[in-house]
C-alpha cells in the first residue's frame, strides 16, 4: 500500500508491507558530481508533486571487493549520481516521539552502501524504532586530502545525513531528540570519530560501535603522501580541479591499484603508519573537521553526554586471513614478529596467548593477536574513559564455514543484529541454519539500548562486565584478562 508523507523537500511516496512502511533513496544532499565534486555536501534538492521513494537509491563510487571477500559479502551497485541518500523504515508515519536508529555502513571507507541486503532495517521498525540507513562518499572522493577541497568530506556527508534526520525524522514518527547512531567496522570508526567532532555535537544521544573505535584516523602528512601518489597515478595535480578532471571510473581504478601497492609496500616501512592502519583513505586529522585523534578528545570529555554500546567479535581477523589462506602459512616466528612490530613484550605476549589458546595453531594465535590489537583493545580504551556510561559485548558464535576456521569473524554479527537470518545473502557468512535464538537476543539488546539506553546487562566498570552472545549467551567478568594485560603498555591516545 502506498503511503505519502511531507518533508522539507516535498512529498514522498513510500510503501507499506505489514507493520512496516519504507521510504527508499531519499536524497539528503545534492549529487556530489560536476561542480560539486570534492565539495562539502550541499543542501538537499526539493521537488514539485510527489516523489517515489520505493526503490533503493544510487550507491557511491567504490573500488569493489575482490575474491574471496566478494564471495562472502554482498556489494550491490545501484547506478546514478544521487548517491547521498537515506532509507527510512517506520512502524507508523502518524506516530510521534519514536526512538530513531541511524546506521552507518562499513567497508574500509572504500566500499559498502545502504543498499546491502542485510542492512534491511525492517525488524527495527517492526519493533517500534524509526530506522535510517545512510550513504556517504567513499575512497578518495570522501577522504583523500585534496588541495582546494574541504577535509574529510565523507564525514561531512555523515553529519549532513544526521542533520537531515534532525530536520525531517518527525515526519516519519521519529523523535530528533532520541537518535542513536550506529555502525560496524568503518561505520563504527566513523561513529567514534563523530563522537569527537564539534560539528556532530547534539545530533545524537546514543552510539553503538561494532568492530571499530576511536583510533582509526591517519595524520595529515600520511594523507598528503597518499594523495600525491594517487595524483601521480592518474596524471593530475593533487587539487580539486586537477582530480575532478579524471573520469570517475579511471579514478576508482587508480585507487584500487594504489591500495594494492600500499598493501604490498607497507611492511617495508615505505608508508609509515599505514603498515598498521591498513586503510589509505580513512579520515585524517585536519585540525578542523577532525581536530585530533578521536580517542584523545573522547578521553578529554568529547561526547561525554552520549551513552555507548560497544562490541567486537571473538575472532575478528579470521575474516581477513582465513578465506585468503594466509593462516596455513603462519609460523611462530611470524606471530612473534607481529607482536614485536606492535611493541609488545614478545615473550610475555606469546606465553599469555599460548596459555589462553593452548591448542591453537600459529595462524590462530595470529588471529587472536591482531583481533585484540586492531579491534578489542581500542574498544576497551573508549570504554575506560566513560566512567560507567558504556556497555560492552562480544559476539562469540562461530561460523561453520571454511571447516569452522572462519569462527566468530568480522561482520558475522550484522545479520543477527538486523534479525535478517532468513535472507539468502546471510548464508554467505553464517552458513546454513544460523541460530535464530542469538539473533533474538542480540537484536533485542540493540532495540532496548536504542529505546532506553539499557541493553540488558550492567555497564562496564571495575568488574569489566561483558555480555557474550553465543550458543549460551551470558555475562562474563573480565574475559581473557591475561591477554588484555599484554597491551597495558599501549599509549591510550595513540593505538
* Residues paired with 475 in a beta bridge: 467
Secondary structure (DSSP) of 5-34: EEETTEEEEEEEETTEEEEEEEESS--S-G
Q: Find out whether 372 and 487 touch, Cβ atoms under 8 Å.
A: yes
The secondary element (H helix, E strand) that includes residue 450 is helix 436-452
SS3 131: strand
Q: What is d(CA 7, CA 257) in angstroms, rounded to the nearest whole number? A: 42
- Grid cell 556489494 is found at 75
Catalytic residue among 163, 410, 413, 465: 410
Catalytic residue among 316, 364, 394, 413: 316
To the query of whether residue 265 is one of the catalytic residues in this protein, the response is no
To the query of whether residue 241 is one of the catalytic residues in this protein, the response is no
To the query of whether residue 443 is one of the catalytic residues in this protein, the response is no
Q: What is d(CA 70, CA 74) in angstroms, rounded to the nearest whole number? A: 7
* Alpha-carbon distances, residue 383 vs 250, 312, 314 (angstroms): 42, 13, 17
Q: Find out whether 370 and 326 touch, Cβ atoms under 8 Å.
A: no
Residues whose CB falls within 8 Å of the CB of residue 308, separated by 6 or more in sequence, listed in order: 206, 207, 208, 209, 382, 383, 386, 389, 390, 391
The DSSP call for residue 287 is S
Catalytic residue among 22, 74, 113, 185: 185
SS3 239: strand
Cite the active site residues: 185, 316, 410
Amino acid at each position: 500500500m502506498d503511503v505519502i508523507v511531507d518533508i522539507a523537500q516535498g512529498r514522498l511516496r513510500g510503501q507499506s508491507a505489514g507493520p512496516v512502511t519504507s521510504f527508499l533513496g531519499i536524497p539528503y544532499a545534492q549529487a556530489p558530481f560536476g561542480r560539486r565534486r570534492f565539495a562539502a555536501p550541499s543542501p538537499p534538492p526539493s521537488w514539485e508533486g510527489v516523489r517515489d521513494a520505493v526503490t533503493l537509491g544510487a550507491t557511491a563510487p567504490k573500488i569493489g571487493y575482490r575474491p574471496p571477500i566478494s564471495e562472502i559479502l554482498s556489494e550491490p551497485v545501484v547506478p546514478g549520481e544521487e548517491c547521498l541518500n537515506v532509507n527510512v523504515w517506520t512502524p507508523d508515519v502518524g506516530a510521534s516521539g519514536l526512538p530513531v536508529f541511524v546506521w552507518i555502513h562499513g567497508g574500509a571507507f572504500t566500499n559498502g552502501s545502504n543498499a546491502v541486503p542485510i542492512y534491511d532495517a525492517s525488524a527495527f521498525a517492526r519493533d517500534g524504532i524509526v530506522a535510517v540507513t545512510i550513504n556517504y562518499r567513499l575512497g578518495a572522493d570522501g577522504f583523500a586530502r585534496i588541495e582546494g577541497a574541504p577535509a574529510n568530506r565523507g564525514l561531512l556527508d555523515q553529519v549532513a545525513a544526521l542533520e537531515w534526520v534532525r530536520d525531517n525524522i518527525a515526519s516519519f514518527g521519529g523523535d530528533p531528540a532520541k537518535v542513536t547512531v550506529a555502525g560496524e567496522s568503518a561505520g563504527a570508526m566513523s561513529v567514534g570519530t563523530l563522537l569527537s567532532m564539534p560539528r556532530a555535537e547534539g545530533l545524537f544521544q546514543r552510539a553503538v560501535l561494532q568492530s571499530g573505535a576511536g583510533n582509526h584516523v591517519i595524520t595529515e602528512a600520511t594523507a598528503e603522501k597518499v594523495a600525491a601518489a594517487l595524483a601521480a597515478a592518474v596524471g593530475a595535480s593533487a587539487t580539486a580541479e586537477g582530480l575532478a578532471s579524471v573520469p570517475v571510473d579511471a579514478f576508482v581504478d587508480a585507487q584500487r591499484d594504489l591500495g594494492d601497492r600500499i598493501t604490498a609496500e607497507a611492511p617495508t616501512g615505505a608508508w609509515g603508519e599505514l603498515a598498521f592502519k591498513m586503510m589509505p583513505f580513512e579520515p585524517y586529522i585536519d585540525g578542523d573537521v577532525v581536530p585530533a585523534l578521536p580517542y584523545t578528545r573522547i578521553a578529554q570529555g568529547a561526547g561525554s553526554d552520549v551513552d555507548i554500546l560497544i562490541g567486537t567479535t571473538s575472532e575478528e581477523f579470521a575474516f581477513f586471513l582465513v578465506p585468503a589462506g594466509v593462516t596455513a602459512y603462519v609460523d611462530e616466528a611470524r606471530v612473534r614478529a607481529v607482536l614485536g612490530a606492535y611493541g609488545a613484550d614478545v615473550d610475555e605476549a606469546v606465553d599469555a596467548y599460548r596459555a589462553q589458546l593452548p591448542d591453537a595453531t600459529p595462524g590462530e594465535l595470529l588471529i587472536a593477536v591482531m583481533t585484540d590489537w586492531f579491534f578489542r583493545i581500542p574498544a576497551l580504551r573508549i570504554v575506560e574513559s566513560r566512567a560507567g556510561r558504556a556497555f560492552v559485548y562480544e559476539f562469540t558464535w562461530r561460523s561453520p564455514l571454511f571447516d569452522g576456521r572462519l569462527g566468530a569473524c568480522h561482520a558475522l554479527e550484522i545479520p543477527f543484529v538486523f534479525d535478517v537470518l532468513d535472507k539468502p545473502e546471510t548464508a554467505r557468512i553464517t552458513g546454513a541454519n544460523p541460530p535464530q535464538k542469538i539473533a533474538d537476543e542480540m537484536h533485542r539488546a540493540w532495540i532496548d539500548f536504542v529505546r532506553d539506553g539499557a541493553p540488558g546487562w550492567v555497564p562496564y566498570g571495575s568488574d569489566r562486565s561483558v555480555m557474550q552472545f553465543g550458543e549460551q549467551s551470558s555475562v562474563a567478568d573480565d574475559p581473557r584478562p591475561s591477554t588484555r594485560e599484554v597491551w597495558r603498555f599501549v599509549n591510550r591516545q595513540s593505538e
